[in-house]
Homo-oligomer: A and B are copies of this chain.
Amino acid sequence: MRAGPIISLASIFDVQKQKFRRVLYRGFVSELFVPYMDLTEEWYYRTYFDAGEYGYGSYASSLLPGADCPANAVFMEAYFPDEDGNPQQLPNAFCIFERYAGDIMWRHTETATPVTEVRRDVSLVVRMVSTVGNYDYINDWEFKQSGSIKVTVGLTGVLEVRGSEYTHKDQIHGESYGPILAENTIGSNHDHFLTYHLDLDVDGEQNSFLKSKLETVRVSNSTTSPRKSYWRAVVETQVDFTFVNPNKKTDVGNSVGYRLVPGSVVSPLLSDDDYVQIRGAFTKYNVWVTPYNESEKWAGGVYVDQSRGDDTLAKWSLGDREIVNRDIVLWYTLGIHHVPCQEDFPVMPTLSSGFELRPNNFFERNPVLKAFVSL
């Protein structure tokens, strides 16, 4: 049970075309890399791979109705083998609920002829919590009526702290590897990198990856325009991060696609030649795109912390394989550098990060026009 929740065959019903259209073949957390920055004797080796080393699924927590999920949630149990291979049931491993947070899906007031139209933002959330030791990771996959798939991870639980002789900041002179959070308590600096495996099938299996660069254009001839500059989007073949099906076009000729809207991303700060970073080198870029290969599921390789890093996403990618008009996989890494503060102790308020896969010329026009009026 290395993976947590696995989302398969995510599709959206296109009201205009009256059919389901595929977006994502399969999506899951491939690895979760948590290196601590504390070199003291009992700490230097704490550079965890929470999926490959522990099992993101095995550590699923039973969800508390009404607290972990709202009152309208339905729950699903999960089954997995225990350490002796016997089947185990985990009740309430998943919850699924309609979410209405009070947000607006779209609205407009036409000022001259006062007409206001509003549609409420109601979406479907699939949630699973994995408690790996001290941390609780809240995994949300949210499916919106607009076609967006929003993926969020919330980090909460209990901070991993180190005992210390210090009772006040002023007593610390050397390297403490993190701030003092309470008397005799140091909160060690650390990172969280979550790498998602996202096998996109945007309206079919054959997809391409487009990178748009925005470039400033200087207007040199003042007879052309009183303006001196503007920007335009220049699309490069290969890798804004749009995944298109080059074989399918909208009526006006745009390639059918989905766009990656990243949340907060950070890069690793460990040296490339550090043992743990050799294994965790898949965090070096926030976006990788590879052709689908059945054996390439785990960004950190099959053996993770037991390996020399030869079997990882960073190594597979050196092959420079063809990714145009292929069945491609997007690997997306979100990262957080965590310098603890006193509010993180003794329990941590949820800190969230995520990304969104947003339709980009996938529909002929705004699909939420079809949503029911709220009143």
Q: Is A237 an interface residue (CB 8 A)?
A: no
User: Chain B contacts of A131 at CB under 8 A?
Assistant: 108-109, 111
- Asked whether, in the complex, the Cβ of A366 is within 8 Å of the Cβ of B339, the reply is no
- Asked whether, in the complex, the Cβ of B350 is within 8 Å of the Cβ of A106, the reply is yes
- Asked whether, in the complex, the Cβ of B253 is within 8 Å of the Cβ of A168, the reply is yes
What's the minimum C-beta distance from A40 to chain B, rounded to whole angstroms? 8
Q: Is A214 an interface residue (CB 8 A)?
A: yes
CA distance A344 to B361 in the complex (A): 9
Most B CB contacts (10 A, CB to CB) among A104, A146, A219 go to: A104
The listed residue (B146, B232, B337) touching A349 by CB distance below 8 A is B146
CA distance A353 to B343 in the complex (A): 25
A106-B349, A343-B361, A349-B146 known; A169+B73 contact, CB < 8 A: no
- Indicate how many identical chains form the complex: 2
What's the minimum C-beta distance from A114 to chain B, rounded to whole angstroms? 8
- Asked whether, in the complex, the Cβ of B277 is within 8 Å of the Cβ of A229, the reply is yes
User: Chain B contacts of A348 at CB under 8 A?
Assistant: 106, 366
Within 8 A of B (CB), among A85-100: 97, 99-100
Q: Which residues of A come within 8 Å of B, CB atoms?
A: 37-39, 44-45, 59, 61-62, 64, 66-70, 73, 97, 99-109, 111, 116-121, 125, 129, 131, 133-134, 136, 138, 146-148, 154, 156-158, 167-170, 175, 177, 179-183, 189, 212, 214-216, 218-219, 224-233, 240, 249-254, 259, 262-264, 269-271, 273-277, 337, 339, 341-350, 358-369, 373-375
A67-B374, A343-B365 known; 18 new pairs, CB 8 Å cut-off, are: A37-B232, A67-B120, A67-B375, A68-B107, A100-B101, A104-B154, A107-B156, A109-B129, A109-B131, A111-B133, A216-B270, A229-B269, A252-B342, A254-B341, A341-B360, A341-B361, A343-B363, A343-B367
